Amino acid sequence: MAYKLNHKTSDGIIAIVGPTASGKTAVAIDLASDIGGEIVSADSMAVYRGMDIGTAKPTPEEQLSAKFHLIDVADPARPFSVGDFQRLAHSAIDDIIHRNLPAIVVGGSGLYIRAAIDGLDSSIPAGDIELRRKLFDEARLYGKEFVHNKLREIDPISAERIHPNNLKRVIRALEIYQATGNPPSVIFANDSKRVRRYPQARLFGLSLERDELYARIEERVDAMIEAGLVKEVERLLDNGIDPNLPSMQGLGYKEIAGFLNGDYGRDEGIDLLKKNTRRFAKRQFTWFRADSRILWINVSKRTVKEVSNLIKESLSNE
């Protein structure tokens, strides 16, 4: 049954979320092909140009299979905030549904999904470059726990939610506190009470058993290394991209940059990437499980087409 869209509402917005390596992109491409939709990437790293392997960005072939938005829209040498993303995402979504097409928002970054679907408070301050550099320097000199403890002192709730290894988010939270004088957890809690940008959006989550997910993560990291992730990071560093920039704090880039910097060996860097990716997947589940709107689909032992068909059936049965 075809999915009929009323472009005057947010009925034409579909979100596919879930942990890394769960197959979101493949399902989105198949769904877009069947219902004539376009894909809006809600990935905090796929926005950066020249960062392809470590971000698991859709391949050129995949990008020919469906129309993608918000890929390669940012310079990795310059700050790019979630506010920047939100403006571009809403523009893309509004354009797609205005053309009477479904907008399929895809990603594993909970904050970016929320920015795209619900919208974040536009008064949340932009990044403080000087403070960010200072905190990155402190993390390098004294360790990530040192910076994380600063967050714990001013906002225990955010500190509990953000792992010390997620330095980018820890620093962002400290930036918000520095600029507003209010704990980020309070700001985001108040923000969540606002009217959602697209209240009728349908959200689908892809899940699978932990052992299978971890096996997929292992395979993905090995495939990234085989595809040339080390050379990609080396090229970025050779081009003058500061390893302390937010773009270089993403999974794959910070671990390989540490290896290239001589902080540890190649094998240790790869093992660290796998461990950090597993931890990230666990945090993704925690974030998305808190959203009661999400209809979860277990993708284990299901093909991409089967998962896509389940989404279509759910959409058509409304």
pLDDT tens per residue across all 318 residues of the chain: 445 554 444 469 999 999 999 999 999 999 999 999 999 999 999 999 999 999 999 999 999 999 999 999 999 998 888 889 999 999 999 999 999 999 999 999 998 999 999 998 766 777 777 888 899 899 989 999 999 999 999 999 999 989 898 888 899 899 999 988 889 888 877 766 777 899 999 999 999 999 999 999 999 999 999 999 999 999 999 999 999 888 998 999 999 999 999 999 999 999 999 999 999 999 999 889 989 999 999 999 999 999 999 999 999 876
Would you give the DSSP letter of residue 247?
G
- Based on the domain organization, do 155 and 291 belong to the same domain? no
Determine the pLDDT at residue 195.
79
The model's pTM: 0.81
**Torsion, Cα of 77, 284, 31, 214 (10° steps):** 100
Determine the pLDDT at residue 115.
93
Catalogue the long-range contacts made by 303-306 (C-beta closer than 8 Å, 24 or more residues apart): 304/23, 304/26, 304/27, 304/30, 305/30
| Boundary residue ending a domain (191, 208, 231) | 191
| Within-domain flag for 212 | yes
Name the strand (E) or helix (H) holding 40.
Answer: strand 38-41
Q: At what angle do helices 253-260 and 229-238 cross, to 10 degrees?
A: 70
Determine the pLDDT at residue 125.
74
Give the HSE-up count for residue 145: Cα atoms under 13 Å, Cβ half-sphere. 0
| Within-domain flag for 71 | yes
Q: Which domain holds residue 172?
A: 129-191
| Within-domain flag for 8 | no
| Within-domain flag for 63 | yes
Determine the pLDDT at residue 253.
97
- Based on the domain organization, do 160 and 53 belong to the same domain? no
- Based on the domain organization, do 35 and 110 belong to the same domain? yes
Q: In this structure, what CATH number is given to the domain that contains residue 138?
A: 1.10.20.140
Give the HSE-up count for residue 212: Cα atoms under 13 Å, Cβ half-sphere. 11
Nearest to 42 by CA among 257, 288, 218: 288
| Boundary residue ending a domain (147, 174, 191) | 191
Encoded amino acid at 203, one letter: L
- Based on the domain organization, do 248 and 105 belong to the same domain? yes
- Based on the domain organization, do 114 and 133 belong to the same domain? no
Determine the pLDDT at residue 4.
52
| Boundary residue ending a domain (142, 168, 191) | 191
With 0-12 CB in 10 A as exposed, 13-18 as middle and 19+ as buried, what is 131? middle
Please report where in the chains the tokens 């939100």 appear, as a residue. Answer: 86
Determine the pLDDT at residue 318.
65
- Based on the domain organization, do 160 and 235 belong to the same domain? no
- Based on the domain organization, do 285 and 242 belong to the same domain? yes
- Based on the domain organization, do 138 and 253 belong to the same domain? no
Name the strand (E) or helix (H) holding 297.
Answer: strand 295-298
- Based on the domain organization, do 79 and 163 belong to the same domain? no
Helix (H, G, I), strand (E, B) or coil at 181: coil
Alpha-carbon gap, residue 168 to 151, rounded angstroms: 12
Total number of domains in the chain: 2
- Based on the domain organization, do 160 and 247 belong to the same domain? no
- Based on the domain organization, do 106 and 214 belong to the same domain? yes
With 0-12 CB in 10 A as exposed, 13-18 as middle and 19+ as buried, what is 119? middle
Phi, psi of 107 (to 5 degrees): 175, 165
- Based on the domain organization, do 53 and 89 belong to the same domain? yes
Alpha-carbon gap, residue 20 to 22, rounded angstroms: 6
